[in-house]
Amino acid sequence: MAADHVIAIDGPAASGKSSVARALAKRLGFCYVNSGAMYRAVTWGALHRGIAVQDPDAIAAMAEEVRIACELIDNESRISIDNFDPSPQLHSDEVNRAVSSVSRVARVREIINLQMRRCVASRDVVIEGRDIGSVVFPGTPFKFFLDASPEVRARRRNAQGQRDEIAMRDQADSSRRMAPLVIAPDAERIDTSDLTIPEVVEEILKRLRTKRLSNAAVISHR
């Protein structure tokens, strides 16, 4: 199998993307890439430098200036800003509140997409995000859009102990001009409201079989 398969897992906040994408990557022996973490890292960088997150020109200038890097370490993406790994800070209330404003900036999206494409070149990857199937890798035949009812998503975020205004973030992510959260026409939608993580993973593996992804994990469960 040529090592350049991209499986896109898009969807709104708390739709189950992260857990499903990570578990799926493990089952397939693919790398797991979290594109939301890149937007969060740039947001953290702006907050850390005291840049007004509502000022798109200042955010774009910062994104040009710092070194935003994505690497695959132990089969997972790792993000750094000027060689600093901000992972522990990426889900703070401040970052949750500001990330939609930062991810609306066109130059930020260009830089992140460039780094992400570079990072995964010639690798088999599962990438989670908002626009992976619609914008970043529109040519991949393996696209899934996970969703869940707003009540279930709010419950999941609360259970994670996070204060995250997901309704506000959904609204901002869906209505922005650049790469809004949309379902790619050829993506398969899966409602995860009543499914466990392993059930969603099995459902995706089943659909990958019909799409003829020739991977041992897919074939052995035929």
* Interface with ligand DC (CB under 6 A): 13, 35-36, 39-40, 99-100, 103, 129-132, 169, 173
Q: How far is the CB of 208 from ligand DC (least distance, A)?
A: 21
Q: How far is the CB of 178 from ligand DC (least distance, A)?
A: 8
Q: How far is the CB of 188 from ligand DC (least distance, A)?
A: 18
Give the nearer residue to ligand DC in terms of CB position, either 39 or 142. 39
Give the nearer residue to ligand DC in terms of CB position, either 80 or 209. 80
* CA–CA dist 60, 110 (Å, integer): 10
Q: Are strands 125-129 and 31-34 parallel, antiparallel or unpaired?
A: parallel
Give the nearer residue to ligand DC in terms of CB position, either 35 or 77. 35
| CB contact at 8 A, 36 and 129 | yes
Q: How far is the CB of 134 from ligand DC (least distance, A)?
A: 10
User: What's the token pair of residue 217?
Assistant: 């994990």
Give the nearer residue to ligand DC in terms of CB position, either 127 or 204. 127
Q: How far is the CB of 4 from ligand DC (least distance, A)?
A: 19
Give the nearer residue to ligand DC in terms of CB position, either 200 or 218. 200
